[in-house]
Structure 1
Amino acid sequence: MGKKTKNKRRGPEPVNTTPLPKKRAEKDPRKHGQATRETVESLVIAFVLAFLFRTFQAEAFVIPTGSMAPTLMGRHADMHCPECGQRYRINESELTDSDVDRIREMRGGRVSPAQIMAENRGLAGQCPNCRRINWLGPVNGIRESQDAVLERSYSGDRILVNKYLYSFTDPQRWDVVVFKYPGDAVQNYIKRLVGLPGEELEIKGGDLFVRENDSDEFKIVRKPPKKIMAVRQLVYDSAREPAELRQAGYPLRWTPANDGWTAEEAVNNKRVDLAYQAKATDDTSWLRYSHIPANAVTWATAERTGIDLGPDAKPQLITDYNAYNTTIDGQQLRRQDGRVALPTNDQGLHWVGDLIVDAEVDIASDEGKLVLELVEAGCRFRCTFEVADGSAELTALPFGSTAAQPIAACGKTGVRGDGSHELRMANVDSRLTVWVDGGVLKFDKPTDYDAQELLASDGGILPQQDDANPGDLSPAGIGAEGLEATVDRVTLWRDIYYIAEKNTKDDVTPNRGWPPSDFLMTTSPGEVAVKTDNGPVTWYDMMHDPAAWDAFRARRSQTFKLGEDQFFVMGDNSAASSDARLWAAGNGGKGGIPGGPYLERKMLIGKAVCVYWPHSFDRLPGTSIPFPLFPNVRDMRLVR
């Protein structure tokens, strides 16, 4: 079945316990060159723009809060998980500089700003990949924190803003803009511009819809590929599988669904090196993802000997979880009587069906099929690569159907014959996008689809699953038919989820005391729950139990009408952003009350262009050699 002669000398099929080969196939040097060019380009642009200070064409700003995280960072701690190695940032403190000044004034100036920040700083945060809670330093009374290295606090990203661009051109949707807060023209804020003058905007199911006239239907707003990449958030990276969980019997998230695939594992210090091997089969064999994130209890149990964690792993839906929002501070520890756990509110309250999958694949055959699959509302979206001729086809298989519907085709993808490739597929904003080795594929037809036609069940878009089809509990897969291949790394991401909350002067939210939510929130009994026509349903049941999924019909949508020269802005960190949706009480009671849920053109300062100075390092990277203010070149970047 398309197997090359040279492959016959590879020896017997690997088994699950076979160590990984020490030497992998060499990466394409063009990819390294591309990454180098992008880094150099970002640096050149950053430093060129810095010179524009002298001509007053650009101005520097510091990001004050985490409302745009992880796109742009406010005050934060920069963490590296000691178990899986994942780098992530958490909200180090809710206090802004103005908050510190106000507290210092209330206390008669007897304390320094540093003391105030120390009293209110975060103590721990959760890794987005392995979900271990990591400490920012030793905490009295918390045994597991005593070996933690003290992490310092960093101020927000420093960005350059083009102040005069909007004097010559109109703002564009998805621009990241700096503006004067409408309730207090002294304060500068930064958000993403998503609504344009004269539009009516609808937030529904995590997506944005617009219409220009009352007689028109709302149409979904789709992000271009660069914006998709800018706002995506990590779900899981197979290259960062923690050894401690595996040794305690916790299952892998990517597992073979049948005999066509095998998983190779080798413990490498604190991580497990993983590779997945596909052998040539007559039918499509599948490697599938199950979302089984660990939690604080899982990690505490893993430290005990003789306990098998496998039976406790239960798949759940992917949510709008954001590691930046997982900060645990002293007040929270006191509320939980010292128990170390992440509150439900910080685990993401909403199911996210828009996903992106990346795969590093080494194909060892000159024919056969390789398939990338993403599932939303039970519908299986697939990109099938024909290795023999290098073509690809996009299809959709709705839940409960046996016939796939063609969407579009591409005659030349570059995936032809044997070779190594970086493949990516996104199902975002009711559009399929495919990348091969960094380039976006062009298909013969638009790759947009009608979500109501393909995804809706009895008028609502809900997660789906049955005995024969895991559906949204297994929302991603890689298939192989008639070829041999190795998947060295596979990473799953989610799209940004815009929360349909509204708190304006004329429409005050009923969710007082709750984070922003699509749902009307309550407790039942003592657990976080949502209100439905059939009574409250707990968040835990909604995420884990298909019998509770009808509760997703209780999701609300919100609409906002914009007038002439009015824009709508929201933060990328929708769960922790006081933006135009919530401007009833003056950005959380700070700085006055704006005129309505909109931003007037006259309040715009400019467009964010680049992060020219992210936080610096105190020592040479990778060493213990002191070097104050060592430039953090890696995080200098354009703002997308």
Structure 2
Amino acid sequence: MAQNLFSIQKNKEEWKDILAQLDEKKIPKAIKTAFQEEGYSLAGNTKIEVKHKGQSWLFVEEDRHYLLDYYPRKEKAWVYGIAGKPAVGAILENVEALLVALIFALLIRHFTLEAFVIPTGSMAPTLLGIHAQVTCPNCHYSFSVGNPSFEPGQSSRTLDLVCPNCLLGSQKSLFQKQIRRKDLRGGDKILVNKFYYLWKKPKRWDVIVFLSPQKHHKNFIKRLVGLPGETLQIFHGDLFRKNPKTGKMEILRKPDSVQKHLWMNVYNSAYLEEKKNRIIWETPKEEVEEKLLKETACTECDQVVYQDVRFQWQGNQLNADCTKKKGVLKFHRPIYNIYGYNRALRGGNLVGDIRCTFEGKFSSQGRIVVDLSRPLKRFQVKMDFKAKKIILYEGAWKEEKILEKPFPVSAEKWHHYDIAHVDGQIWLKVDGIEKIRYLYPSPLTVEDEDQQRFWLKFRFFQSQVNLRKLHIYRDIHYTDSLSNFGVNEPVTLKQDEYFALGDNSPNSQDSRDWGPVPAKNLLGRAFIVFWPAIPYFDWKVRWIR
């Protein structure tokens, strides 16, 4: 008469409440009697099936909601209802509704929307292809790794990986992980608006789907970076466009609404490292008294590194007393365009565009100077809490004052600081409010590779230092090796052509390889991820930026 399908316990008082709800639903008396009889004998069930007059009635309690369903024994379909006869009409209505929905879906697909599955990692980490999720054994940072391409009959592979947070697996360290075939997750499922470009012109930085200009005519998804008639060139990771008025090549700056989705993790202090002697922060020996320094042999770079003994980590917070003597903190590691997704196979270019965010609390009499520099383009942002002003300098050390603004920020309270040097501009935001932004001309000039090495340095004067949630990001760095278009020399687009690049630049076939995309090949604009891979069901609907 009944089946014990679940083991969640219920008491008789709860069961009486359920029976009262059955009365309100006007359930046939014979069914209520059967439930009452079975209920007291099987009070531990959350699902009970009762046979009555050739039909099975199923009572379900789920998330505090009570449902009463039944289905005819001769039918396979479930039918909702409270009558005692087979509801054939309800089945027909459901079939009709499904047919209408199918026709509607086909019409939408043909004219406006179409679903695509991302097969590869050329747009990672914005969009993921087939991948596995791994966790670094050193800092416990979780990241995605691209499909290792198993051979037929192969159930697992051991891969050499690089953690994008602590760089375990680069230089002298080793990071190997066995990836099983069953660990793989499918690519992101996205929706593409096929109608969008019929009434709007494509915009720079849109994520677009198009037919490849190559003979195989596969569908590709990339980021649109070049518009009809423009002359473009990639140089040291940045995009440049010829100004039609001056004829000079000028850097293309991404708007904040796009840039905020393209930052990639370099370092996050929330992920504490287990391996010792892998130096993250150092103090230049020439800037601090020697008695305040300790020597440490870095196992990553085989160099002796100096560290200020006053700076002490307590979990995710860094504290120091620099009220009497200046303190200096410099990020020790070089910043490369490493993608954890690509394993240890690609990447390695030095990146010059970075951002640092942190929460900070200082002394009201203190001064903080943040150095965001390349060797040929150095900037210092000075926050003077005593004078309540902020000053931007250009040069090795306060050589030229660029701008000065009021800075009414209470140093002794926690604030969120956001500072960046990206695409030929400097900005500082405090608690999300922009305090300074300086755009400087960034000409396309020859620099050797070492000139791209970027450094981030803090100087603290007359202040207690409390920093937490330190997070460093890097920008997309467009690579220029083994490419044909827009790399070694500019490429000029025709009036019906576009230039498209992948966000995972070291691992993307795009317009650098096979040239511009004809306007007639555009299929639409990708705008939403609606279903990452099953069977994990950890999906989140999100907009594509």
- In the other structure, the counterpart of 2:164 is 128
- In the other structure, the counterpart of 1:276 is 318
Contact 2:380 2:398 in 1 (8 A): no
Quote how far apart the aligned CAs of 1:91 are. 0.8
CA–CA separation in structure 2 for the residues paired with 1:287 and 1:352: 20
CA–CA separation in structure 2 for the residues paired with 1:440 and 1:80: 34
The 1:262–1:580 alpha-carbon spacing in structure 2 relative to 1, beyond 3 Å, is same
- In the other structure, the counterpart of 1:463 is 450
From the two aligned structures, give the one with the greater strand fraction.
2
The reply to whether residue 450 of structure 1 matches residue 449 of structure 2 is no
- In the other structure, the counterpart of 1:237 is 268
Q: Residues 95-174 of structure 1 correspond to what in structure 2 (within 5 A)? A: 116=152, 118=154, 123-132=159-168, 152-174=183-205
CA–CA separation in structure 1 for the residues paired with 2:359 and 2:208: 35
From the two aligned structures, give the one with the greater helix fraction.
1
The 1:600–1:420 alpha-carbon spacing in structure 2 relative to 1, beyond 3 Å, is same
CA–CA separation in structure 1 for the residues paired with 2:501 and 2:472: 25
Contact 1:609 1:639 in 2 (8 A): yes
CA–CA separation in structure 2 for the residues paired with 1:582 and 1:562: 15
- In the other structure, the counterpart of 2:42 is none
Match of 2:479 among 499, 504, 522: 499
- In the other structure, the counterpart of 1:84 is 139
Normalising to structure 1: TM-score of the pair? 0.59
Match of 1:325 among 321, 342, 354: 342
- In the other structure, the counterpart of 1:290 is 332
CA–CA separation in structure 2 for the residues paired with 1:565 and 1:252: 51
Residue identity opposite 1:320 in structure 2: N
Quote how far apart the aligned CAs of 1:264 are. 2.4
The 1:178–1:149 alpha-carbon spacing in structure 2 relative to 1, beyond 3 Å, is closer
Residue identity opposite 2:434 in structure 1: L
The SS at the match of 2:260 is: helix
CA–CA separation in structure 2 for the residues paired with 1:605 and 1:485: 53
Residue identity opposite 2:166 in structure 1: C
Quote how far apart the aligned CAs of 1:55 are. 4.7
Contact 1:617 1:632 in 2 (8 A): no
- In the other structure, the counterpart of 1:353 is 352
Normalising to structure 2: TM-score of the pair? 0.68
Contact 1:369 1:387 in 2 (8 A): yes
Deviates more, 1:252-261 or 1:281-290: 252-261
Quote how far apart the aligned CAs of 1:223 are. 1.2
Match of 2:403 among 384, 403, 408: 408
Residue identity opposite 1:81 in structure 2: C
The 1:561–1:452 alpha-carbon spacing in structure 2 relative to 1, beyond 3 Å, is closer
The 1:194–1:377 alpha-carbon spacing in structure 2 relative to 1, beyond 3 Å, is same
CA–CA separation in structure 1 for the residues paired with 2:312 and 2:236: 38
Work out which structure has the larger RCO, using CA pairs closer than 8 Å and 6 or more positions apart in sequence. 1
The reply to whether residue 74 of structure 1 matches residue 91 of structure 2 is no
Cα RMSD for the two superposed structures: 3.4
Contact 2:249 2:443 in 1 (8 A): no
Cα-to-partner distance string for 1:510-533 (whole Å, 9 max, x where unaligned) = xxxxxxxx9xxxxxxxxxxxxxxx
CA–CA separation in structure 2 for the residues paired with 1:178 and 1:169: 15
Task: Pick the structure with greater CA Rg.
Answer: 2
Contact 2:160 2:175 in 1 (8 A): no
Quote how far apart the aligned CAs of 1:220 are. 0.8
Quote how far apart the aligned CAs of 1:434 are. 2.2
- Counting aligned pairs with the same residue, the percent is 30
The SS at the match of 1:602 is: helix
Contact 1:278 1:485 in 2 (8 A): yes
Contact 1:366 1:416 in 2 (8 A): yes
Contact 2:193 2:527 in 1 (8 A): yes
CA–CA separation in structure 2 for the residues paired with 1:229 and 1:360: 18
The reply to whether residue 427 of structure 1 matches residue 421 of structure 2 is yes
Residue identity opposite 2:339 in structure 1: N
CA–CA separation in structure 2 for the residues paired with 1:503 and 1:145: 32
Unpaired stretches in structure 1, ≥5 consecutive residues:
1-50, 96-114, 135-141, 267-272, 292-316, 327-341, 465-470, 508-517, 519-555, 584-596, 619-629
Contact 1:263 1:274 in 2 (8 A): no
The 1:144–1:434 alpha-carbon spacing in structure 2 relative to 1, beyond 3 Å, is closer
Contact 1:68 1:191 in 2 (8 A): yes
The 1:411–1:61 alpha-carbon spacing in structure 2 relative to 1, beyond 3 Å, is farther
